[in-house]
Structure formats: structure tokens, C-alpha cells
Structure 1
Amino acid sequence: MAEPAVQFLLEKLSTLMVENVKLIKDVKHEIEYMRDELERMTAFLRVADAAEDNNPQLKVWVKQVRDVAHEAEDIIDEFMLHVPNTNGCCPDFVHRLIFCLKNLNSHYEIASQIQNINSRIKKIDEGHKRYDANLNVPNQGPSSSDEIDRRGDALLLEEDELVGIEHPKEEVVAWIVEGDSRLKVVAVVGMGGLGKTTLVKKVFDDDVVKKHFHNYAWITVSHSFKMGELLKDMIHQLFDQMKIPVPEAMSTMNRDRLKATIKDFLKQRRYLLVFDDVWSIEAWEAIKYVFPNEDQGSRVILTTRSMDVASSCSAETKGYVYELNPLSKEESWILFCQKAFHGNSCPEHLSDICENILRRCGGLPLAIVAISRVLSTKNESNVDDWRMLSDGLGSELEGNDQLESMSKILLLSFNYLPYYLKPCFMYLSSYPEDHSIEHNILVRQWIAEGFVKPKEGRSVEEVAQGYLNELVNRSLLRPLKTNDDGSVKISQIHDLYREIILLKSRDQNFVTTTTESDMVRVRRLSVHGSLGSSEVEKCGSRLCSLMLFNMVEPCSVSSILKLIKTSTMLKVLDLTGIHLEKFPKVIFELFHLKYLCLRNTGIKKLPGSIKKLQKLEMLDLKGTYVTELPVGILKLLNLRQLLVYHHVLDSYMPYNHIVGFKALKGIGCLKFLQKLCIIEISPGSCVLEEIGKMTELRRISITKLRTGDCVGFCSAITNLVKLCSLSVRAVEGDVLNFQYLTSPPPSLQRLYLEGELANFPHWIQSLRSLVKVYIRWSRLSDDPLQYIEDLPNLVHIEFLDAYIGEELCFKAGKFQKLKLLGLDKLESLKSVVIEEGSTPLLEKLIIQRCSLLQSVPVGIERLTNMKVLEFFDMPDEFISPLSPEKSREEYWKVEHIPKVYHIYWRNDGWEVYSLDGSLAHEESAKPGAAIVKTQGQRNWM
């Protein structure tokens, strides 16, 4: 993977050439030569990056290019460290430059270093020319025949390897043979190795399916398909099936004639065509015109790893998408025992080891079958052999011939990533096994590393979010938690894909973890658990990224600080959770630093020297005890995100549940800020006017707003036309009036209002993009539902002490997209009515501390999408009628809901009960307990 490294270097060289850095002639000439030579290499590199795994000689050449690009990047970074860009704003620039050059031993030393790099580039280029001429580098990466051969293995699985396939097969067969007569496309989507091909093959071979269609064909597409060969294969299958000779002139036909031949043949026939392994929408566009649509009940099935492909292809015919899921734990265990123990049960002394292996297989049938076959040859009495495979699965993937086929099938997903996604995906090898990946954090890290570049009409953050969506849609990231607007908030990488990119990272010196023995020439270091002094000495001085996870040894802190001191090239520094009381002074020497996270450390004060970090874009002090910022922060004009706050935790959220930072005079100079949390408004300050100047803000959280601030607040918010999330909390006891806001931000999606309101803000009714609204401690006398019931995209509502009326009525036909509803401490509320046709998509309802509520909501029995119903600290007389062992006077209304709990705060903890009075399983307790204990945190993250 050399192309991304070369691209980063080219951008850095271009920046150096256009910025106001005085370069003597020799330096400029050498840089121009380097740029020109590398630009010529990039086209070949894009092909070579995809093909290197299949060709050892090509792999060596790619490594040489990557290494020289990294070394050149380090030289440029070192140069810029001593010669900062001044943009012509400093009158004594020449004198400062001369002073810096003394430390560098003149420009001539830089020229000499770059000249040496250019000499190496020449030799590498000569090697490329010889290689390209003699070795015939493929144009499309891995050969299609190699890929098809490996995919063919999936068609040969025995019946005992098809655990869990019956239900998916029945569902897809029903889509194929039933329904109207229009042509429909059925897309089966999922990550590599899930069994998509196997499932569709069983559908294709089903007797009912065979009898239903006149003609059928199975076409393997693959990433590197050739259209002419694919069309000829279709013709052979269709004509041979009818025992008709293929057209004599077929060998000389162009693509258009081949397509016409197929289309003419299929007219007036009911056909079933399978296109296995479709990688792109473009591939589908090239194929789809051969299908006649004559209301014969024809069907087309495709398999793909991309949700974008599946959705796009099926949508055109109003067809179906079947998202294939991993096997359950039970199904995985059955399949594993069938192969590893020949159908026998697992010996007790191996159960823990086998469970760990299965956990890492993650329900992937391909992996379970491959690994269990390896284990089936091992002696069951030799526990060490089994444990070695469990603990060293990564090395087994690389060195075990029996696992080679599985590894290469998984590796296809990486090899066929666009060049710009490869470094983004490999970066995930920084994260520990089973780690939850927060997308907001990951996006900022990618940007700081230089992996993401803005596109015309889109910000760099929007481009990065698009990259994340691509990885999710390609089934390379598994969503764990989504936002209310449907976007993914937290995801996880499958263990085996993580092992694959760990191998790639190690091989390409991309990311190094402290769990590895080789820590030489480290560029990105991920510390898992601890870091010793001896490991620090191995790292070298070229570190550009340092991330910490699960720090367990206080003695590691000194090693971390020692490492930072020697790593002046750092761009990303994440010290989350490290035991610190003072801000480490060594950080102030990191000239290139763009991302700094000190989340959940013990830091209490931020020094004024923070102003030295001129390139800083992200400063995360969430969970620290910092409540004031130095004036020096105003010098950080590149800041995009500033997060400074901590939570006050309790069983239930107190009014002052979050502590932010005192507003700074002049903070409006940070014009590039997109996220600002949480800023406290001081009496008599001009901060609201300053906030109105930050027109790039997407999210802002404001606290300690006073009655007299309302006019200024409304004026400031009017200017923030890009705002998507607004949180505002009043000083306790003050009444807020937001009626002065005549033009609210049109793109506002999330709104959090905390504190007493004079009346419900009328402008909320105009927020067509609003998906979430929280109203807390507002004590409104008017029913708030009437003002938000027609919002077309509203998904999530939470009321906490927000309404003093006795009834809430969800009117018929309203709240058509609502999925989550929380009612907390509505102490006068006696009844909730859900009229027929209202809230049809509601999935989760939480009712807390509504002591006068007489029964569950009227109409709840009609809400067929309900999944979770939770009651917190509700009176016994409310809960008792819901028991299935009582009179069932109320139980019948909620018996269709899978999870119903009543929960109480007792003995400094939550006790969770099912409706039958039994103590619920611990896993059942987590959703309710998490909602209450971290309620405030969830709203501000």
C-alpha cells in the first residue's frame, strides 16, 4: 500500500512550494524533481497496491516506494519544524529564518538529504521499468480466475456445513416464486465469508425454484470481470440448457450484439439469473440491460458485500434486500462441533478454548469451518496445541496453508478498497480487539493523519463521514449504535478482519501495537495496557501517532511522557484515561500536533503555553476538571472542535449535571470551530455576540443562560445557519424566553432545552429536519405535544419535569416516525393516550417517576413495533396490575412487547425485575440502568 504514502508526500511537497517558505534554488530544484517523479509513479502504484500480495517481486518494489516516501515525508516535517510558515505576516521573517537555519546546518543539508532521496527514487524507477517490461503486471489486481476458484469452494460445502441456512433460504425462495409478475431483483448482502454464495446456490438448486422458471443461469461476476466473457458464459448456459446450439458468429460479436442475443432469447420466458459477487454499481449498470421485463414473473438474484450495491440494484425494480447475518452462538457451536469433533460434543477441558475461538470467528461460517477443520487434526488431549491456535490466530492466518483460502477471501475486501479507503481501514488496527469505535473520534483522527481531503462543495468532515459510510456499507464495520437520524455512531470491526489488517499493518509498518515484539522504526504506536522504558527506546523518533488504550500501570506514565519528548513529529496524541494531574509540558513542543485528546484524565488546569500548538484542530478535555481556559487558546486559529466539560453522576440526573468552562472574551476569533461544548455564559459578558461570529458551528452546548441573555442568545443563534445540534440550559431559577428567535437554523436536527420556559418556542414547529428533542425542567402548562406532532422526521422525544398537565395525548395520524419516547418526573400526569394511527413505529418507551400515572398508555396494545418497555421507580399500585399472575387486567396490553421491566434504585444500585416479579438477568438490566445513570452524558456526547 504505497500509493497513499506517496499521495500524502505529494500534497506536503505542494504545500511547501506554495507557502511562504524561502527556499534556495538547489532545495527548490530537488523538491520539484521529487514531486515530478512521484507523480509519474502513482498510476502504476494504484494497480501494484492491489496486486502485490500475489507477487513477491512486486511486493518488494512497492515496499521500496513506500519506505522512500515515508523518509521524504520525515525530512519535510523536520524542515518545517525549524522553518514555520508565517504567511508573510512577520516583518522580521528573514532574520528568524536565518536563525532557524543555523539549527538545521543550512539549506544545503536539506538539499543533500533530498538529493539522496531522489537518487533512490531513480533506482526504484529503473526497477519499476524492468519489472513492468518483464513481469507483465496485471491491470486489475488479483486475477479473476484465482478469485473464482476460491469462491467456488463455497458452492461445494456439504449439507452438514449449512447450519442456520433454512430460514434464510425459505425467505428468499418465497420472494423468488411469489409476488406479482413484474421483474424483481433480490440482493443478498453481507461481509465476505458469511455464506451469501452458499445460500443463493441452495435457493438456485431448490426443486420448487427449478420448476417455477423456464430458464436459469449462474454467473460469477467478481471484481475484475470481463464483460464479453461474462455475456458469452450466459449465452452458453442458456442455450445449452435448451439444447440449442449457440450462434455461430458469437466469437466475433461485440458487447452490444451479445446483449441483444441474450435479450432476444429471454423474451416471453420466465427466467432466473444469478449474478454472484457484484462489487460495484457500475458493474451492475453494465449488466442490467440484458433483462427483458415482460411481466413473466422473472427474477434476478445478486450477491454483494456492499449495501450500496444491494439497495441500488433492488430499488430499480422495487425488489428485495436480504441482509445475511452471522450465525448465532448456538448455531456457531453446532457447526464447530460438527467439524472439529466430527459431530461429537466438545470435551469439557477444551470448552473455554473453543468458546474463545468461536468468539473470534464472530459467527462467520467460512471461518468456523476452516478453523475447525484445522483443529480436527489435533490431539484433543494436547491442550497446548489448541491454546496456541486460540492465542495466535493472526500468525495462523499468515502461515497455515489450511487457512489460506479463508484468508484470501477475506483479504479480497481489503484489496479491492479504493486507494483512499485503504489507510483509513488499516488505521483501525490501532484499536484493541472488540473495542467500540466512536465515529466522531475516528473521523478527527483520520483528518489529523492526512487521510482525508476536502472535495468541491464538501467539507473535509463530510468527506470523512462518507468514508465511514463506505466501510459500513462494504460490511467491513459492524454498526453497534446508531444516531436518531440513522447514521452510525459506534461500530466494531470483526475480529478476523482486524487480524487481516494487523498483518498488513505489521508488514507495511503502518501501525505498531505494544502486543508485538518488533517495534523498530515505528510510525504509529498503539499502546494496549502498558509501555515499558525498553519499548520506548525501540520506537525511534519518527512517531506521528500515539494512542493509549486500557492503561493499567501508573509506572507507564513516565514512559509515555519520555516517548512524547522524543517524538516531535506527532500529529495525533490520544492519552485517554492516563493518570495525570498536570498538563504535560512536553506536549507544547509538538509543532505538527493536530489532534490532542486528554479525555478522562485528572488534569485541572490548561496552561497558557497551549498557544504553541498552532496546528491543533481537535482539543478534547471531556471528563477532566478543567473549568477555565487560558487566553492562549485564542491563538489556535485552526481549532475545529473544542470539548471541555465533565459530568456529575447520580442515580437520577441533577439539574446541574454538567460542568463546562467559563467563556473567554474574544472567543469569536475561532472562526473555524464546528463543535463547542460546553460554554458557560458569565453575567454581563459579550460572549453571545462572539458566538454569533462562529458561523461554521455545527454543534454548540451553552449553560448558565439567564433571563436577560435571551435576546442576545436568539440573535447569535440566527447567524449559525449550519447548526445541527443546539443544547442550552438556564441558570437554575431563571425563566427563559426564546420567542425572539425568528429564524432558527434550518438544518437543526437535535435540540436540548433545559430550564423553565416562559412558553413553548413557536419556531420549533418549523424545524423540518429535527429528529430529537429533549425538554427538561421546563414545567410547561400547555401540552407540548401539540407543537411538535407534525414534525416529519422526529424520532426521539424525552420530557423530564417538562409539563405540569394531567394528560398527554398522541393524536391519530401524528408522530409517524417516532421510535423512542421517555417520560420522566411528570408528577401531575395521570393518563397517556395513544390514538389509533399515532406513533406506529414506536420501539422503546421509558416511564420514570410519574407517581400519579394510573395505567400504561391507552392504545399501547396497538403498537406492534414495540420492543422495550421500562418503568423506573413507579408505584406498586401501577406495576401490580401488569403481572401475568394477577387478574391480567393490564398485562394483555403489554404482552406483545418482548422486553418489559420495572426497575428500582436500591442500595446505591439498580434492581431490575421482569413483570412476573423475578429478578431479571444482568444483561436485561443494562439498557434501563444505562439510560438513567448516563442520561445526561448521552445527551451531550
Structure 2
Amino acid sequence: MADTAVSLVLQEICQFLLEKRTLLTGIEKEFTDIKDELESIHAFLKDADKRAADEGGVGGADEGVKTWVKQLREASFRIEEVIDEYNMYEAKRVNNSGFLGTFQMIMSMMTSMSPRHQICSELQDIKSSIGRIKERSSRFEFKSESESGSSRGTKAPRIGDPRMAPYFIEETQVVGFESPRDELVSCLVDGNNELMLVSVVGMGGLGKTTLAKHVFDSQLVKRHFDCRSFITVSQSYKMKELLIDMIKKFCKDSNEHIPKGLQKMDDETLITHVRKYLATKRYLVLFDDVWKESFSDEIEHALGGNDEGSRIIVTTRMMQVAEYFKKSFAVHVHNLQPLSPNKAWELFCHKAFRGQCPNELEEMSNEIVKKCGGLPLAIVATGGLLSTKPKTMSEWRKMCKNMKMELERNVHLTSLLRILSLSYDDLPYHLKSCMLYFGIYPEDYTINRKRLTRQWMAEGFVKYLHDERRPLEEVAEECLTELIQRSLVQVSRVGFDGKVKSCQVHDLLREVIIRKMKDSCFCHLMHEDEEHVTVGITRRFSIAAISNNALTSTSNSGIRAILMFDKGQFPQHFLHEVSAKFKLLKVLDFENSLLNSIPDNLGNLFHLRYLNLSHTKVTALPSSIGMLVNLETLDLRQTQVHKLPKEINKLAKLRLLPVYYRKYEQHYSMLNFTTGVQMEEGIKCLKSLQKLYFLEADHGAIKLIQELKMLRQLRKLGIRRVRGEYGNALCDAIQEMNHLESLNITAIDQEAILDLDFLSAPPPNLRVLNLKGRLTNLPNWIPNLNYLVKLRLGLSNFEDDPLGSLQNLPNLLRLNLWDDAFSGECLHFQVGGFPRLKELDLTRLNRLSSVSIDEGALLCLEHFRFNNNPQLKVVPPDLQHLNNLQFLGFADMPAELVDSIDIEKDGPCHWIINHIPLVLIRQKVGTRFHDYELRPIPTQSNV
């Protein structure tokens, strides 16, 4: 990871020199000299990192190389600190430019070495240190990237490599691939004669090669094709050699003579020869372990143009590689999944016991299998290791308890980690840093996408990929998408619009990450049962056991991030000590902790960019918050902070300000369930603000809303307690927000009328709209929101059915009509209406007694919920037309309706919902929001 550290600091230096056009005398030259030295070293760093991490050779990695890499990484850390200290010094110098400030600075310089001289002295020492590091590099004979490029990356497996095993696995040994095998065989032998490519995608160790080889060798497939060829690609392939190898294997498979002179042919002649040879053959070629999108372009001319029913199989860890083939071929993508628990158990028993698991070992064996997370390679490696051990309780208990240790030291399992490491090693440097962040979170932790990507942004991992025309969040989310497509990150939850909500990494891949973190001093973990102490300087603390005193006792003041996962009581003065000691902090995250107050010295953290206090017991912020001039994210969700100090308006770089409290401990009320925050006059200074929710409008009234007009970067605005007389001013403000994507407006009470007709030209990119309050009519601009994906209307009291006006919204995916949004008796969904709608929610429509759905309406609907509609006593018979419906929910509905679909009570209307996979009845059992019980209704689809 020296390459990552140096690459990041080189970008820091370049940006620093670009922005600081008036550096103090002597400092610019020192920085330039250091940059030049680092650039001359940079070309060799990939080789140095590879050799420092290489544990496959005799005796492991060269300790001298490890030391050299560590010294270079720590020099990079020191440079980062100098840049941050200079920025802090310069900010103080600007702020103290008056007479009193200048006098104070002179007095300070008289009593100690001036900050300028300290910075110059540190830079000179760093420059000397880097010079010595550069001199020592000559003894290791590192290769530059251009010299080692052809040999970098993974090569085809050799004897002894665990990746060789799938090539020779017997059909009787293949477990858990029956369904994907049948799917892929069907793709190969069925269909038309058009050339088609089948791509098997999944993370390392998932069994892609095993499955593909199993299909390749099936008798049905062998009989179907004239000739077949199995080619291992890996990262270091040469296309000419692959094509020659492919021809030789085709000839061997079809008992033909191998053409002479293949090696002497130039590329064009060889490709022509291959095309001619394959033109009249129905062939099958399997390209195993493809890493690059460009591979598709390289094989297109050699293999294209065949209409004999030929097929290509590709295995890859990268979804973008699989998708890129669509440019040249008809493609079927099979996203390989982990083994199901019963198949994982079957495979483990086969490897560990050659049959049945003894009863006394069953419980611990199940725990071991669970730790493998459905990864066939892990199950095979672990089962193979245990097959060599005595079948005793003590031996199994030892393995179960010390599996992480065994991963590092046992030859059966270290090869597993090496295979999983390949995907990490292939990442560009900025994605390596992003990937390592997953190791900061505790084991089995489901990670919120927004939280993670905002931390990346604060750390600067995606800063230099940023294009001013796009928000930084978008760039960070693209980085997460790439990690997902590389099969390194697993998606845990997806929103209705297809966006990732949360994610995690496989437990075994997390072990790889933690080892990389330790080697690169990325983070010191203080987690129960898994503390990992880094050697030398560390940059981050992850704390899940706050009783550990390593944080306050450390001499390392250059910490950049502290993430707290401990849910116990905080020691007194903990945060005060953190703010006093770690002045270079950029990330401070206390989400879901028992933190209850913020000390006034928080303002010491000049460099802080991300402060997460969500779901804590904090009730107020100190006025020193105004000193955090670099703060970009202030997360106050689900806190009791109801008023922000006026100093918050000094934070010109603040971009994200989510602040609200939802009263889950009470019964739901649309107007009072959520409370927002009061802000003082001056919010117009927050020119960088992109997300603000929820602002209490009645505190500052018209003046506050008029100031919103100046916040032209807003992408998400939530505003509550809006009075009727604010309508004109609010429309004027929204009119200026051309970037607005999400708008949430709530009236102050049920009688206040939200008059939004003044909005003649709504924000063109609006995607989410929530209006909670009485509307005189449906604003005529809403049906014209072509990018709207979510619409929620509440308390609107429309007397006429609004569906006719809304049904042509082209991209609407979710529609909620709540709390008498419609005050009539019948809703009618017309044929062709709501062409893309996936989710529909009808809640507390007190007069609604019938819902009719034309055949051909709501064709894409997947989720339909009815909640507390007291007059709807008959299940809508037209539900039978909704063929794509996956979920139907009835919450607190009349007993007549519920009984009519209950098969246990011989409900006469059960046939209407019998085709729906999941039907749930929800009944309130208490006064709090979450006090309810669920009861599924059996249907033909779920029995």
C-alpha cells in the first residue's frame, strides 16, 4: 500500500501547490523538491508493494523491502501532516490579521520557534528522509511498471496452485451447482444458431471455474459441438498465444492435424486463419478468469461472424467485463450466488468426513460452515484441513475458535486468502483505500451507503476524481458501484429505485482487508475479540470497546478518523480529550453511540470534514461549531437537537445537513411525527449547502424562506411547519433551485393551505416530492415532472380522483396517498396508467370504499399496501389482474376484508390474491410506532 499512500500524497501536494499561490518563503521549493523525489520513486512502487506483500516464496517477503515500504509510507504520512498544519497556520494568520491578532502572534513567536520555521524544518527533514529512502531503493533492484508490466497480475495456475483443482474435479464431487449447471447447459445447446456468449460472474472462490468446467465437460455439451477449447486467461495473457493455444485444442478435440507455422504468423494472418478454420464449425470455447474489458475487443474479430450455433463461455470476477461483451456478442449473464446452507453443509461433510458428520460434531461443524459464508473454495479448504485432524470435540472446538488464526498460518487456508486477495490487488489505488474502509466496520456489520461514501469523501479518496460538473456524492457512489461490479462488495438492501441502500463484505474477504489494513497501518481496531494493533504510525481508530485506553495513551497525534461502534457509556471527558489531542481529524463518527454532549473545544478540529452524531443522545451543539470551517457533513438525524447556534452559518463549506427526530415511541401523526430544527437568520451564507432537512419554517418565517433563495446548490430540501401565507415566498425560493432533486413540504396544521401554484417552472430534475398539507387543487406542474420517481401526498383532501392527472408520469416508481390525500370514495386506475409504478401505498383514506383497476393498468406493480382504510371492507377484485405483484399488505384493515381472504376461515375472496407470493396482515398491538404483529396468509405461490 505504499503506492496508495504516495499516490494520494502526490495529489495532495499538487493540489496544495496549485491552490496556495502565495506560499511562505522557502516552503514552495521544499514541497516541489519533495514532489520531484516522490515522482521518481513512484514508478517502482507497484513492484515494491508486491514484493513486500509476497508471502508465497520461500521465507516469505524480504524484511528489508517491508521496512523500505513502511518508511516511505510513513514519510507520506508526515507530508500530509505538514500540509494540514500549514493550512491551519495560514487560517489562523488570516483570522488574526488585525492589530490584536498580530500582537498575539508576535508574542507567541517570541516564546517559541515560529510555526513557519517549524514547518520549514520539518519539510527539510522529510526531504532528507526521502532522499535516503530513494538511495536505499537501488539495493532492492525494483522494476518499474513498464518493465514488469507483462509479468504483473495473476498467471495461469501451476501444479500445487489451489486454482488448479476445478480443472480436474470429478462430476460426482460437484455439489450445489445443479440448478446453474442446467441453466447454462440449456443456454449452450438450445436457442438459434446465432453466436452467443455466456458469462459466469462472481467473487473469487465462488466456484465459477468449477461450474463452467462442469458444464463444459457434460456429455450433452460434448455431443452438441464439433470441437471445444478450454483456455485460462488470467491477467498476464498474450492474445496471440491464447489464439494459438485455442486452435491447438480445437484440433486435438476434433482429431485434426495442428496447422503448421502458427507461431510465425503476424496478428492479421493469424486472426484470418482462425476465422477461416471456425467458419463452418459449431465450436465451444471457455475463457476462464478474464479481468479486462478490452478482452472482448481482442477476440471479436477472431470469433465473430459464426452462425453455426457456436458458443463462448467466460468466467470473470467483474460484472463490467461481463456486460462489455454485449458490445460484440449476444450475451447471457449468470451471476453466481453462494451455496445455500444445505448445499454448503453437504459439500463440507463430503470433504471433512467423506460422508456423514458424527452427531457430537454437528453443532460445531455447522458453525464452521456458517463462517465460510457459502463460499465453495472456503468450504473445500476448511473441510480438507479438518479431514486431516482427529474427529474429536477438542480439535473441532479449536478450529471453530481459532479460524482467523488458521487462515494466516495454515497452508490449506493461506492459499484461500491469496486467491481472495487477487481482486483487491487489481484495484486502482483510490479504490484500495475505499475498500479498506470496510475493515473499519465490525464483523457482520451492515454498512449504510451514504455513511460510507461520505466518509470516503471526507478522507479525500474520491476528491481528485471529481469533475466540478458533477456532485462528489455521485463520484463516490460510482466507486462503490465499481467495487460491487468487481464482486468485492455484496449488496444488502436495494431501494425501490434500484439504488444501493446498504452493503457489506464477505467475512473471509474482510479477513483479507484486515491483514491489508494492518500491513499498511490504515487503521487500529479496538474491537472485542479481534484487536489488531498496527505497527508504527496509524491513521484511524475503529472503537467497539471503549474501555481500551490505547486511544488516549497514543503518542500519534496525526489520527485522521475515529469511528465509534461501542454502545456503552462514554468515559467522562472522552470527547474533550479527543478534540484536544487529535487536531488533524477529518472524520468523527459516533452514530448509534451513547454520546450525550459535545464539549466546547470541538472547535479545535479545524480539519474536520465529517461529523456524524446521528442516533445519539446529543441535545445541543456548542457555539464553537462555527470554527469548523472545513466541515462538509454534519449528521444530526434522530437526535434531540432542535435549535442550531447562529455560528453554524459560518460554515461556508457545509454541504450536507440532515437534522430531525422521529417519534417512534409514539403513535404516528403525519404533522407531528417528525420534528425539525430551528435556524437563525443568516443561512444564506451556507452557499455550498446541498442537503437541508428538516427546517422549521415558522421560527424565521418569511425572512428565513427568502434567505433560502440564495442556496442555489440545494439538491434536497425538507421544510416543515409551513404557513399558508408563506406560499408565494417559498415558490420564489424553489424557483431558483435548479439542482433540486428532492422536495418535502409539510404544513403547520391541517387547516393551512399549501398554495404552490406560484411555481411556474418547477426544478427540472426533481425526483422525489412529498407534500403534506391541504391543497386547493393538484398543482398543474406536478404532472409535468418527467424525472419524478417518488410522490407522496398527504392531507391534500382532493375531492376528485387525482389519478387521471398523475397516471402519465413516465418514471414514477412509488406513489403514496396518505391521510385523506383523497377524500372521495372510489379510486380508478385506468388502462395504460402508471406504466413503471412498482410500489403503491393507500393509507388512512377515511372515505375510500372501493378501488378499481383496469386490465392493462399498473403492469409493473410489485408492492401494494392498504393501511387503515376503514370503509374499504371488500378486497378489490381487480387485484387478480396484477400479474407482477410480489407483495400485498393489509394493515389495520376492517375485519370483513381480512376474513374474506383468510384461507383458514374459508374466505370467499382468497382466490383473488392466490397468485401473490407474499400476503401479510399487520395488526396494531400497542401505542408506539413499531407495536404491531404480522401474520402471513398462505397462497398458492408460497405454500
Q: Secondary structure at the match of 2:920?
A: strand
Listed as ranges, the matches of 1:723-738 within 5 Å are 723-732=740-749, 733-738=751-756
> 1:80 and 2:87 equivalent?
yes
What is the aligned partner in structure 2 of residue 359 from structure 1? 370
Alignment coverage as a number of residue pairs: 916
Change (3 A) 1:268 1:37: same
The separation in 1 between residues aligned to 2:552 and 2:352, in whole angstroms, is 42
- Identify if the C-alpha distance between structure 1 residues 550 and 420 changes in structure 2 by more than 3 Å, giving closer, same or farther: same
* Structure 1 segment 265-284 matched on structure 2, within 5 A: 265-284=277-296
> Residue by residue, what CA displacement relative to the aligned partner does 1:555-611 show, whole Å, maximum 9, x if unpaired?
545445434432111110011233333322232211111111111222222222111
Contact 2:352 2:387 (8 Å CA) reproduced = yes
Q: 2:297 & 2:96 partners in 1: Cα distance?
A: 53
Which stretch shows the higher mean deviation, 461-470 or 227-236? 227-236
Kindly provide the CA deviation profile for residues 1-29 of structure 1, in whole angstroms up to 9, marking residues without a partner as x: 11221133223333443445865544333
Task: Deviation per CA, 1:173-227: give whole Å up to 9, x if none.
Answer: 1111111221122111111111111111111111111121222211121122222
* Contact 2:606/2:630 (<8 A) preserved: yes
Cα deviation, 1:777-811, whole Å, max 9, x if unaligned, reads 22211212212211222111111121112222222
C-alpha distance in 1 between matches for 2:50 and 2:797: 61
Q: Secondary structure at the match of 2:141?
A: helix
Aligned to 1:231: 243
Hey, what does 1:929 align to over in structure 2?
A: none
Q: Point out the more displaced range, 182-191 or 94-103.
A: 94-103
Is contact 2:195-2:330 (8 Å) kept? no
Q: Does residue 716 of the first structure (1) align with residue 733 of the second (2)?
A: yes
Q: Distance in 1 between matches of 2:19 and 2:703?
A: 36
Give me the whole-angstrom Cα distance separating, in 2, the residues matched to 1:769 and 1:190.
Answer: 33
One of 774, 779, 788 as aligned partner of 2:806: 788
1:413-432 aligned within 5 A: 413-432=423-442
Q: 1:292 to 1:13 in 2, by over 3 A?
A: closer
Change over 3 Å in CA distance of 1:134–1:793 after alignment to 2: closer
Equivalent residues in 2 for 1:118-197, closer than 5 Å = 118-132=127-141, 138-139=148-149, 140-146=151-157, 149-159=161-171, 161-197=173-209
Question: Which AA in structure 1 matches 2:54?
Answer: N
2:456 corresponds in structure 1 to 446
Cα pair 1:54 1:142 within 8 Å, conserved? no
Distance in 2 (CA, whole Å) between partners of 1:244 and 1:510 is 57
Q: Does 1:746 align with 2:755?
A: no
- Within 5 Å, give how 1:340-351 maps onto structure 2: 340-348=352-360, 350-351=361-362
Name the structure 2 match of 1:931: none
**Higher mean C-alpha deviation, range 455-464 or range 506-515:** 455-464
1:884 equivalent to 2:893? Answer no
SS in 2 for 1:546: strand
What's the counterpart of residue 923 of structure 2?
904
Corresponding position of 1:938: none
* Alpha carbons 2:646, 2:679 under 8 Å: kept: no
CA-CA distance at 1:84 after TM superposition: 2.5
Match of 1:541 in 2: 557
In structure 2, relative to structure 1, the CA distance for the partners of 1:618 and 1:721 (3 Å cut) is same
Residue equivalent to 2:706: 689
* Alpha-carbon distance change, 392 to 797 in structure 1, aligned in 2, over 3 angstroms: farther
**1:155 Cα deviation from its structure 2 partner:** 2.4
Structure 2 contact 579–601 (Cα < 8 Å) conserved: yes
Q: What amino acid maps onto 2:31 in structure 1?
A: I
Amino acid at match of 1:892: W
Comparing 327-336 with 679-688, greater Cα deviation is found at 679-688
> 2:623 & 2:211 partners in 1: Cα distance?
62
Other-structure match for 2:826: 807
The verdict on how the C-alpha distance between 1:773 and 1:128 changes in structure 2, with shifts beyond 3 A counting, is same
Report the alpha carbon displacement of residue 239 of structure 1 after superposing the two structures with TM.
2.6
Residue 894, structure 1, aligned to residue 903, structure 2: no
Q: Which amino acid aligns with 1:702?
A: I
The residue aligned with 1:588 is 603
Q: CA deviation at 1:46?
A: 4.0
Q: Tell me the distance in 2 between the aligned counterparts of 1:20 and 1:184.
A: 56
Q: Does 1:797 align with 2:819?
A: no
CA contact under 8 A between 1:519 and 1:539: conserved in structure 2? Answer: no
Contact 1:267 1:292 in 2 (8 A): no
Q: Which amino acid in 1 is paired with 2:514?
A: L
**Cα offset for 1:340?**
2.3
Cα distance in 2 for residues equivalent to 1:540 and 1:494: 31
Shift in CA distance, 652/329, structure 1 to aligned 2, threshold 3 Å: farther
Segments of structure 2 that go 5 or more residues without pairing to the other structure are 56-60
**Structure 1 residues 186 and 19, CA, compared in 2 at 3 Å: closer, same or farther?**
closer
Q: Per the alignment, in what secondary structure is the counterpart of residue 180 of structure 1?
A: coil
The SS at the match of 1:138 is helix
> 8 Å contact 2:226–2:254 — kept in the other structure?
no
- Which residue pairs with 2:53 in the alignment? 53
Deviations 1:636-691 (A, max 9, x none): 11101112211112343442111111133221211111111111112643222222
TM-score, normalising length from structure 1? Answer: 0.92
Report the CA distance between 1:531 and its aligned residue.
Answer: 3.2
Render the CA deviation track for 1:338-390: whole Å, top value 9, x for unaligned.
22233213534x4443333333221111111111222233333343x434433
In 2: Cα distance, 1:522 partner to 1:846 partner:
50
1:198 partnered with 2:213: no
Residues 876-930 of structure 1: per-residue CA shift (max 9 Å, x gap): 111112122444531112122222121211245312223369xxx9xx9xxxxxx
SS at match of 2:865: strand
Superposed, 1:787-936 pairs within 5 Å as 787-801=805-819, 802-887=821-906, 889-907=908-926, 909-915=931-937
Pick which of 647-656 and 867-876 moved more.
647-656
Pairwise CA RMSD of aligned residues?
Answer: 2.6
CA drift of 1:146 comes to 4.9
1:688·1:713 contact (CA, 8 Å) conserved in 2? yes
Q: Structure 1 regions of 5+ residues with no counterpart?
A: 925-941
More displaced 10-residue stretch of structure 1: 151-160 or 824-833: 151-160
Distance between the aligned counterparts of 2:853 and 2:50, measured in 1? 57
Find the residue that maps to 2:271 and give its secondary structure.
helix
CA distance in 1, matches of 2:355, 2:601: 60
Could you tell me which residue of structure 2 aligns to residue 32 of structure 1?
32
Return closer, same or farther for 1:534/1:24 CA change in 2, 3 Å cut-off.
closer
Work out whether residues 455 and 463 of structure 1, in 8 Å CA contact, stay in contact via their aligned partners in 2. yes
Check whether the contact 2:622–2:645 (CA below 8 A) recurs between aligned residues: yes
- Please tell me whether the aligned partners of residues 161 and 369 of structure 1 are also in contact (alpha carbons under 8 angstroms): no
- Are positions 1:471 and 2:483 aligned together? yes
Matched residue type, 1:703: R
CA distance in 2 between partners of 1:486 and 1:916 (Å): 28
Distance in structure 2 (CA, Å) of the matches to 1:131 and 1:247: 45
Contact 1:484 1:771 in 2 (8 A): no
AA in 2 matched with 1:492:
Q
> 1:368 maps to which residue?
379
* 2: CA distance, partners of 1:100 / 1:73: 25
State the SS of the aligned residue for 2:828: strand
Cα distance change of structure 1 residues 379 and 99 upon mapping to structure 2, 3 Å threshold: farther
Please give the secondary structure, in 1, of the residue aligned with 2:877: coil
Q: TM-score, normalised by structure 2?
A: 0.92
Classify 1:298/1:627 alpha carbon distance in 2 versus 1 (closer, same or farther; 3 Å). Answer: same
Aligned residue for 1:374, secondary structure, equals helix
Deviates more, 1:881-890 or 1:759-768: 881-890
- Give the partner amino acid of 1:77: D
